[in-house]
């Protein structure tokens, strides 16, 4: 549709890591979601920069995790100070981000068409 999600990063290390990206729109077309994660749980990449950007919607909720849930383990969220959220982006916070990321999740609200 009219929504895009872009994930940009720079990282070092890690070998042949498999990552997935999912994009979805709710049935009523009011919510747009975007997730990027490593299904195997923890990533061993050393992330120096991370940025996810949505177009066509405004971020309602976002969360970043140092470890993604796998085999009975829970998602381990980053500390709130490690990343920042604006209306359209989620990005690492320089000097606070600890270079770990295994999952990033965004839920955004789509603009309503007035009747």
The DSSP annotation for 61-92 comes to: EEEEEEE---TTPPPEEPPGGGEEE-SSEEEE
Can you say whether residue 71 is alpha, beta or left, with left for phi > 0 and alpha for psi between -120 and 50 degrees? Answer: left
Q: How far apart are CA 109 and CA 50, in angstroms?
A: 22
Token pair, residue 58, equals: 């405004």
pLDDT, tens digit (0-9, with 9 covering 90-100), for 2-51: 889 999 999 998 778 999 999 999 999 899 999 999 999 999 999 999 99
* Model pLDDT, residue 90: 98
The pLDDT of 70-89, averaged and rounded, is: 94
The residue ranges of every structural domain in the chain are 4-13+20-109
Token pair, residue 82, equals: 């490690």
Give the predicted TM-score (pTM) of the model: 0.91
3-state SS class at 110: coil
From 104, 39, 99, select the one nearest 73 (Cα to Cα). Answer: 39
Q: How far apart are CA 25 and CA 110, in angstroms?
A: 9
Residue 103 reports pLDDT greater than 90: yes
* Model pLDDT, residue 75: 92
């Amino acid at each position: 549709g009219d929504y895009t999600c872009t994930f940009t990063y720079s990282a070092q290390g890690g070998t042949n890591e498999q990552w997935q990206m999912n994009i979805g729109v709710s049935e009523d077309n009011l919510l747009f979601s975007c997730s990027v994660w490593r299904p195997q749980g923890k990533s061993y990449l050393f992330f120096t920069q991370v940025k996810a950007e949505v177009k066509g919607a405004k971020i309602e909720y976002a969360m970043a995790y140092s470890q993604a849930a796998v085999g009975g383990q829970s998602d381990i969220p980053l500390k709130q100070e490690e990343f920042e959220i604006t209306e359209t982006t989620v990005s690492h916070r320089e000097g606070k981000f600890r270079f770990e990321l295994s999952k990033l999740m965004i839920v955004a609200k789509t603009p309503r068409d007035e009747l």
